Structure 1
């Protein structure tokens, strides 16, 4: 098993500081580690130089900065030319990384959602009407702007067309060229806990921890995944994260499913624990 991490932009032979601890833990555990040029990979130009430091063949897991599904597919092709196969295929990455890919399987345990294909207002108004009046949260296929909650994420009433579009327009402005897929409108639900991030390999939960945004809020010891587990397993994805929060009525709800390769690790999960769970189990499987 090979761990691929982004290179430090100023010291391209070394791992980026954000992923250096995981790289060191993987090396200490006997796994091959190689760096890739994320800027070359994520850009719109020639990405071939991104993988020049990858020399060993085999099965690989990426732990790095976010990539679009299209650029991940380019990444996979470049690695395949070097005899390296990503454990998560491009189609699997898209299903995990983009909400329309996983929503259907988890619809029973996550807020009701509708989406467009693209940023047109006509389509936005169509799905806004479909979801119906009331509060909603706006995002695109891969990301919300929750840190701009009042201006680009929360819509108090979808029945107010002008106000809803104002939020959508600000969202588009902030996302810019990173806007992914289309608008997603999710029915607002009231939560009473911080989010918990869970890590899954081959449909099995291997780690439970705090969310990177709230690392000091420890995951509850009695987190019940019995309802969620068969749904996540049914997706058949090799490596994902599932973020959950406790709704006001005491029910745990899925906030997000994401590809584990581009999901941030909270500081409260030790690097060796991540490597043991993600690479160790994957190698054994």
Structure 2
């Protein structure tokens, strides 16, 4: 079963953003159920139309705590999500996946909370040089100069100005703490890869650049490490570094990772429902 958000104005129809995937699922013989995303603060009400069964969610991003309530409410209705609340948190928040992928992703340090003292300790641990700021679940890369890029983490005042602006922009969506990632020079557009049960089943553009040519990433080093996460459905955004190595810039839970418009919805649905043995594992 595929669970998608309902349209806020027409609650018996899928949200228009996810309607193409819902249509593709139905055409493939997959049952589709609707949840009221706006009511997830009252999860039992939000999921009241979902029948019992095994399910994958495709919808808007939510916090790990909100997902836990969502999964618990579904469980009370006899619905088993392919992705548990624990697995969602591990994929959705950088501290959950960083250690396993440290060899193929920029060096990172983080805080618990948003206090300056903790930020300064993390900054000093990273040392000096440029860094990119984010929290556990998201960056503000579209506000690059004011809330993402730190030219030198050794410059305490300038670094904190970026952190303060980042915190202001994230507001109630701020998750976990500050994350400082060492800046690396990249030479390609980002590639979004989709992994089901440790197998890369789809390679496409990143949603921010949906019409960009998609380079063929070398997964020989990255593949076994993503598979080693043992997460049921994730995305990994990859980019080629100046030295030619492919790097992981982000991991996300596949249920809430956006599908670029240039990837047909039936392609993603087919990747989700393929039998495991149809594609060999990587590595």
Q: List structure 1 runs of 4+ shifted beyond 2 angstroms.
A: 279-285
The whole-number CA distance in structure 1 between the counterparts of 2:109 and 2:149 is 15
CA RMSD of aligned residues (A): 1.4
Instruction: Select the residue among 110, 116, 132 that pairs with 1:115.
Output: 110
Task: State yes or no: 1:133 paired with 2:128.
Answer: yes
Equivalent in the alignment of 1:13 = 12
Deviation at 1:249, TM superposition (A): 1.1
User: Aligned to 2:59, what secondary structure does the other structure show?
Assistant: coil
CA distances 1:132-180 after superposition (whole Å, capped 9, x unpaired): 1110000000000000000000000101100100000000000001000
CA shift at 1:280, angstroms?
3.4
**Contact 1:243–1:254 (Cα < 8 Å) also in 2:** yes
How far apart are residue 233 of structure 1 and its match?
A: 0.7
SS in 2 for 1:107: helix
State the secondary structure of the residue aligned to 1:17. coil
The answer to whether the aligner puts 1:218 opposite 2:217 as a matched pair is no
Asked if 2 retains the 8 angstrom alpha-carbon contact of 1:201 and 1:281, the reply is: no
Shift of 1:284: 8.8
What TM-score comes out, normalization by structure 2 length? 0.96
Cα distance change on mapping 1:5 and 1:282 into 2, 3 Å:
farther
1:65 paired residue among 37, 60, 66: 60
1:271 equivalent in alignment to 2:270: no
Distance (Å, rounded) in 1 between the aligned partners of 2:276 and 2:200: 13
Work out the CA distance in 2 between the residues paired with 1:278 and 1:212.
18
1:54 aligns with 2:54: no
> Is 1:167 paired with 2:162?
yes
- Per the alignment, in what secondary structure is the counterpart of residue 27 of structure 1? helix
The residue number in structure 2 matching 1:37 is: 36
Q: TM-score, normalised by structure 1?
A: 0.96
Candidates 77, 81, 84, aligned match of 2:79: 84
Equivalent residue in structure 1 for 2:221, among 224, 227, 235: 227
- 1:243 alignment counterpart: 237
Query: CA offset at residue 218 of structure 1?
Result: 2.3
**Which of 164, 180, 183 is matched with 2:175 structurally?**
180
Does the CA contact (< 8 Å) of 1:212 and 1:266 recur in 2? yes
**Counterpart in the other structure of 1:124:** 119
CA contact (8 A) 1:38 1:50 kept: yes
Partners of 1:230 and 1:283 in 2: how far apart?
Answer: 17
Deviations 1:243-263 (A, max 9, x none): 001111111110001100000
Gapped runs of 5+ residues in structure 2?
Answer: none
2-structure distance, mates of 1:5, 1:122: 41
Aligned partners of 1:279 and 1:75: how far apart in 2? Answer: 22
Give the 3 Å change call, closer, same or farther, for CA 9–284 of structure 1 in structure 2: farther
Q: Structure 1 CA distance, aligned partners of 2:241 and 2:94?
A: 20
Is residue 59–residue 84 contact of structure 1 (8 Å, CA) maintained in 2? yes
232, 239, 256: which one aligns with 1:262:
256
- Per-residue displacement from partner, 1:39-97 (whole Å, max 9, x unpaired)? 111x4xx2321101112x11100000001000101000000011100000000000000
Name the SS for the 2:134 alignment partner.
strand
